[in-house]
Amino acid sequence: MRMQDLIEKKRDRKELTRDEIAFLIRGYTRDEIPDYQMAAWLMAGFLNGLTESETQALVEEMLYSGVVLTHDHIHEPKVDKHSTGGVGDKTSLVIAPVAAACGVAVPMISGRALAHTGGTLDKLEAIPGFRTDLSLIEFKAVLKRCGLALIGQTKEIAPADRKLYALRDLTATVPFRPFMCASIMSKKLAEGIDGLVLDVKTGNGAFMREYEDARKLAEMMASLGRRMGKRIVALITDMNQPLGRWVGNAVETMEAIETLQGDLESDFAGLCLELAAQMIVVGEIEIDMNRARSRARNAITSGGALERFRYCIEAQGGDPRVLDDPKLLPQARRASTIIADRTGYVTGIETGEIGRVVMDWGGGRRCLEGAIDYSVGLYIHAKLGDRVKIGDPIITAHYNDESRLDEMQRRLRSAYRVEEAAPHLEPLIKTII
């Protein structure tokens, strides 16, 4: 088989066989196929599409390019959650301990900040000492001891995706459903899970801005996972404004801790309870969603979930005192509040831009190994539909780099639209598949 023939086939809109996809992925993972040929094939696929059976083959080949974990020593149902990425989305830090406290084992392999969206690993690493680079043996041991373990993708897990993701990032081939589906599902299925809850974001802060694209991605991932024998639920949720009140790393960790301590009033807490309840049902701990919701809520009000998080932080080398004293998390030196310059209702928030401001002010990386300022963050005073008067606070920025203050204030102010008429508000959870 020759790679140029497979590029030609995709260029001419023909379907690749299972063996051809295997040749492609195995050859690329073993460095036998160069980046320039793979890049050409990726772009041909992006432009001409992939069939269902090509996508299925891609997922399976990427999954088996590395280790697929098993957890025979753990008798609880193994269920994870994956979000396609958003702004202010710190749900993993809450739902993993909640689900664990309810009898679900959560083997979570997470990612870092990507484009304007934050990453669970960066939020966890804001906790002094917290290690997300456990070996797979350590990962399994923490999972057994605490009921949850939270790490980054190791070199053994879906190595084909590690290589391909970097190439897609450089060749403008990330936002394509079959590639996203293969990338996400290969990593998640390698965790050794029985079931998965998918949170597919849609809106101006999501990769899939349009609802229909998000729905098709959710359906593609759900049916693929089910065909592979996993119990899957997919939620399509709104990302037309940041989730919760804080956007950043340490500040989001703090907000997650407050939620675990019992602050359940926010949109963020509501989504956490719903996702955790779905994990409890997917794990077959409960069959009824209302009972699962009240179990999830009890895990928080009883303090059980917070204790789970404490064990996990300790087991992964972090300082658990952050749970009692959030000031131990990195703190920004300066704060500045942006106020409303007109009276009316908040009718639009450019969510992607809010995320980019945090990234550009130091909260994200410029390159893969770059340093990150965990303390930078934004507090969202005004959410969609809120009525504001001239002079009311909209956002408080917590930052260190004073030289960019004017630019950031300008960008944040123009990310807000305030109008006379109240907007129609979308539900946070739009669809469950």
Smallest gap from residue 220 Cβ to ligand URA (A): 12
**CA separation for the pair 108, 418 (Å, rounded):** 39
90, 112, 187, 381: the active-site residue: 187
Residue 56 amino acid letter: Q
161, 199, 360, 373: the active-site residue: 161
- Pairing type for strands 148-152 and 195-202 reads unpaired
Question: Applying CB under 6 A, does 183 fall inside the site for ligand URA?
Answer: yes
183, 215, 245, 373: the active-site residue: 183
Is there a catalytic annotation at residue 342?
Answer: no
**CA separation for the pair 30, 26 (Å, rounded):** 6
Question: Applying CB under 6 A, does 160 fall inside the site for ligand URA?
Answer: no
Smallest gap from residue 201 Cβ to ligand URA (A): 10
Binding letters toward ligand URA, positions 338-367, x by CB under 6 A: ------------------------------
Nearer to ligand URA, 186 or 316 (CB): 186
Question: Applying CB under 6 A, does 225 fall inside the site for ligand URA?
Answer: no
Smallest gap from residue 189 Cβ to ligand URA (A): 12
Is there a catalytic annotation at residue 183?
Answer: yes
- Nearest of 159, 127, 148 to residue 31 by alpha carbon: 159
Residue 151 amino acid letter: I
Stretch that binds ligand URA, among 174-182, 256-264, 341-349, 402-410 (CB under 6 A): 174-182
Contact with ligand URA (CB under 6 A) among 99, 148, 158, 184: 184
Residue 320 burial (C-beta neighbours within 10 Å; 0-12, 13-18, 19+): middle
**CA separation for the pair 200, 360 (Å, rounded):** 25
Nearer to ligand URA, 179 or 246 (CB): 179
Is there a catalytic annotation at residue 365?
Answer: no
Q: Which long-range contacts (CB under 8 A, 24 or more apart) does 23-28 make?
A: 24/61, 25/58, 25/61, 25/62, 25/65, 25/160, 26/61, 26/65, 27/3, 28/160, 28/163, 28/164
Is there a catalytic annotation at residue 360?
Answer: no
Contact with ligand URA (CB under 6 A) among 6, 160, 180, 235: 180
Is there a catalytic annotation at residue 302?
Answer: no
Measured CA to CA in angstroms, residue 48 lies from 53, 208, 348 at distances of: 15, 19, 35
Number of residues that bind ligand URA (CB under 6 A): 8
Nearer to ligand URA, 197 or 296 (CB): 197
- Neighbouring residues of 80: CB distance < 8 A, sequence distance ≥ 6: 106, 107, 108, 109, 188, 191, 193, 196, 197, 279
Of residues 46-85, those binding ligand URA (CB under 6 A): 84-85
Give the number of other CB atoms < 10 A from CB of residue 327: 9
Nearer to ligand URA, 88 or 147 (CB): 88
Phi-psi region of 186 (alpha: psi -120 to 50; beta: other; left: phi over 0): alpha
- Give me the residues paired with residue 344 across strands: 388
Q: Where are the beta strands (DSSP E) in 350-392?
A: 377-380, 387-388
Smallest gap from residue 344 Cβ to ligand URA (A): 36
Binding letters toward ligand URA, positions 99-138, x by CB under 6 A: ------------x---------------------------
Residues identified as active-site: 82, 161, 168, 183, 187
Contacts to ligand URA by CB under 6 A: 84-85, 111, 174, 179-180, 183-184
